[in-house]
Amino acid sequence: MTSKKTGKQVFPLLRQSINALVVNPIILFPFLTIAFFQLVILEILYFSTRFPLVAFFGPLIRRLWGEGYLHYPFNFAVLPMLFQFAQIPIYIFVSSFLIAVAMVMIAAINNDQNINFRSACRKAFPQYVHIVLAAIISFVIFYVLSKIYGVAIWRALKIGSKSGIFFMIKMIVLRGAPYFNLLMGVVITTLFAFVLPIIVIEKKKILSALILNFKSLWRSWWFIFLVVLFPTLLYVPVLILRNNMPVIANTFFPGIKFLALILSVLFMVVIDGVVYTAITMFYLLKRENQ
């Protein structure tokens, strides 16, 4: 499945990644499973302000946002925030493992082996602890960077200018938060690009995987960054939609926020499928060349 013709060429590698997904759609199954879990959680959160789930979620929502957010239409305003909180354990304990399972599938297909989702799960599961540790490390770094950006937002809010350069800086910092988070995700995905392949393909522990990852990434940083960045840019229209959601919700109906979250989940299936397939294929190519 890997081809030496791609080398360090971004678009040929991405094209080969897409072709691999078309020819071997089973690779998408772990990503579709992630989407399934996310949509189930989203459905639970959608009914979180209704009986019987309100008995559990009600005190939490009331404490964090107030009584009004338990009722229509403000319940839709709190939905994206609840879903964002839920994403953390899903990513650490579920998504990271299923991404690793997809990488096992790609490696098996590359070696002309027959494999299915169940057998790939069995092969990846012995490394589950190290997979989760890798996910925790990447999340902690993301969290720290988010806090640093939070300080920038706090400083921007203190800018009193109504025009000029300082006002422009303030607007960029405040309105650019979602795009900064997206870029931050690209950087962190790049930084730990080869950790999961090394863990599940080479059967390495987390510390060894991190060391080997940085060694492999040393001469490939910008290449992998672009491989991750270009597919991720497809998510920008979703961010634009979500950023303008208050206006759209007032114009149409508040429930469109729920539909936007569903759309974002479906977009990430395609983006993650292309990105992680490309990363794994490039890692296998480097491995074969060595």
Question: Within 10 A of 273 (CB to CB), how many other CB atoms are there?
Answer: 25
Q: What is the pLDDT of residue 213?
A: 97
Please write the tens of the pLDDT for every residue from 61-111. Answer: 888 888 888 887 778 888 888 999 999 999 999 999 999 999 999 999 999
Per-residue model confidence as pLDDT tens digits over 162-186: 778 878 888 888 888 889 999 999 9
Evaluate if pTM is beyond 0.75: yes
Give pLDDT tens digits along the chain (290 positions): 666 555 679 999 999 999 999 999 999 999 999 999 999 999 999 998 888 888 988 898 888 888 888 887 778 888 888 999 999 999 999 999 999 999 999 999 999 998 899 999 999 999 999 999 999 999 999 999 999 998 988 988 888 777 788 788 888 888 888 899 999 999 999 999 999 999 999 999 999 999 999 999 988 999 999 999 999 999 998 888 777 766 555 555 566 778 888 999 999 999 999 999 999 999 999 888 87
| CA 27 to chain CA mean position, Å | 17
Residue appearing with tokens 């939490």: 60
Q: How far apart are the C-alpha atoms of 182 and 232, rounded to whole Å? A: 8
